[in-house]
Amino acid sequence: MSLILLLALLVAPLVAPPAAASRPAAALAALVAPRDPARSEAVQEASGTTGGPEVSPDAGDTTWWAPGDSSAAATLPGALRAAAVVVTRGDGRGQALEPAGIAVDAFGRLVVADGALHRLQRFEPDGRWLGESGSLGSDPGQLRRPGSVVMLGALTVAVLDRENQRVEAYDLFGRRLATLIDLLAATLAGPLGRVDPIALAADRSQTLYLADGDADRVLVFDGTGRFLRTVGGFGPRPGSFRGLAGLAAGPRGEIVTAERGNARVQRLDAAGRVVASWAIPVGRSPGALAVAVDDSGRVAVADEPTGRLWLFTRDGRPWAALGGLARPRALAFAPDGTLLVAEAGRGQVRRFAIGRARRPNREP
């Protein structure tokens, strides 16, 4: 009997369960856990970064929801709170049916592309209407299902005119300036072949980046529309893409991409080298993966089919998350630090405040 007891004592440490996962690992596990449809879709998750106002997890129209291990989610202090509806649904002046792109200038004024009404509209930060441009068609000044909208420097707005296969430039008053990129022109159609332009981004040097969903590549142009190079291509390796569905430009000449096939976000430097990469819980359903990057390098990603949104730190740690959105098609950070979300399913643009979550008190 003593021999058996001795053997049991020697073997016990070898079969003991592993120590509890670290807090960051548990946070990431909670973030990528399968979605539980029986629970509310509003999610608040975060890494351990500090700063920002306290935001209650049940503020606005959100409720507390933690996929997977709720105790892991409870360690995450970040939150997003619905602060205002900037653009409402409708086909009248100052309304939208299918907001598909947002750009914000240095003063916080918005330019919103409407894919259903084939127009651009300009708004004050509080939602007051300033004007509109465009109508259905292919002539100069007309649009067909416009999508991404970006600031090109401080004075120019560039819009992806998707079905016309071009990028159009406007001034801050909505006056058309020029066609910057014409993908159907012989000078581009020959060397580039078929292109499915799904997203547009621009950095501070006025370099334009065009995501090609057909060939899983990023086409790079200078501010005048001259083609420079191609980044990526189909594949699973770092720097390649499978199911490229979203694109944004960072403050340091980087680009950030989101893919469905590889279910990941990649941050690439100006030469196309991967400097960071992390997983995101998305499937292969069709729809946009809207991406936005703020001045600190934080990355927001929204999944159009599921209505979920995640906010990550620069190196990919989860900072906050939110659910219950209606086909989020485009994202943009405003100068005041808020996040603007274009919901194509509700025909509205909402503003969300970002801050630290205030956890509800629990009974001991």
pLDDT digits (tens, 9 = 90+) for 300-358: 999 999 999 999 999 899 999 899 999 999 999 999 999 999 999 999 999 999 998 77
Angle at the Cα of 337 from the Cα atoms of 361 and 327, rounded to 5 degrees: 80
Return all residues near 337 (Cβ < 8 A) that are at least 6 apart: 52, 294, 354
Backbone angles phi, psi at 118, to 5 degrees: 55, 50
What is the residue whose two structure tokens read 């894919």?
Answer: 115
Q: Is the pLDDT of residue 13 over 50?
A: no
The domain limits of the chain are 41-357
What percentage of the chain carries pLDDT values higher than 70?
A: 77
Q: Round to whole Å and give the CA distance between 101 and 99.
A: 6
CATH architecture of 41-357: 6 Propeller (2.120)
Nearest CA-CA partner of 291 in 323, 262, 329, 319: 329
Return all residues near 23 (Cβ < 8 A) that are at least 6 apart: 48, 72, 75
Kindly report the average pLDDT of the chain as a whole number: 82
What string of H, E and C letters represents the secondary structure of 290-325? EEEECCCCCEEEEECCCCEEEEECCCCCEEEEECCC
- 360: exposed, middle or buried (C-beta count within 10 Å: 0-12, 13-18, 19+)? exposed
Model's pTM, two decimal places?
0.80
E strand or H helix at 8, and its extent?
A: helix 2-15
